[in-house]
Amino acid sequence: MTSMPHPYGAAEPATECRIEQAPEVPTAVVVQKDFPMYEMPSLMDGAFAHLEEALAEQGIHPIGPAFALHHRAPVATADLEVGFPIDRPLEGTLELPSGYEVTGSTLPAGRVGWISHVGGYGGLAEKWGAFTEEIGESEEQMTYPFWEFYVTEPHPDMNPAHLRTDLFTLLEPREG
């Protein structure tokens, strides 16, 4: 498997906010607009359960963990993309057994802030809050989109305290 370019694919979690230059990365995603937040588990299961197999049939392979990219702050609903970073761009669309349509997209190039959350998904909102506060204190300006990489693949027998999720946000370009 091709590995993710820097700053993605870090072996160790980032315990404090890091600012890095990120390259554009091709992705295969299910795009949803005004998607109800309470249905997020079914979207994730429906997208991730069959996506790797559908991509393999096209000769395309994930180069990193599953992710969710948000185009606006989710409240009751979200505008988001869920999928995988891939080794080459996806041409056309794929239909998953769950009924979701998969299209090609990208993770944007640019300056990003990122940090890791280690623990259950229930702690993500609190981590995002602390992360956005830290970005603000560093005099950086967050912009859309923002995304999460689910570095540790969850399974029923695991301890949620061991889950690692890397949080990323695009930052405004610096002058000069």
Place of tokens 């967050």: 142
Domain boundaries, the chain: 18-116+139-171
Q: What is the pLDDT of residue 176?
A: 58
What length does the chain have? 176
Q: Are 109 and 28 in contact (CB under 8 A)?
A: no
User: Measured between alpha carbons, how far is 151 from 139 in angstroms, rounded to an integer?
Assistant: 28
Tell the CATH topology of 18-116+139-171.
Answer: Multidrug-efflux Transporter 1 Regulator Bmrr; Chain A (3.20.80)
Tracing tokens 């761009």 back to the chain, one arrives at 89
Q: What is the pLDDT of residues 74-100, one digit of tens each?
A: 999 999 999 999 999 999 999 999 999
Phi, psi of 175 (to 5 degrees): -70, 140
Averaged pLDDT for residues 106-112: 97
Q: What is the pLDDT of residue 79?
A: 98
Q: Encode 106-120: b = buried (16+ Cβ within 10 Å), e = exposed.
A: bbbeebbbbbbbebe
Q: DSSP E strands: which ranges in the chain?
A: 18-22, 25-36, 67-70, 77-85, 94-95, 101-107, 110-118, 142-150, 164-171
Per-residue pLDDT at 4: 82
Is 115 in contact with 131 (CB distance < 8 Å)?
Answer: yes
pLDDT at 2: 61
Q: Give the predicted TM-score (pTM) of the model.
A: 0.93
Across the strands, what pairs with 142? 171
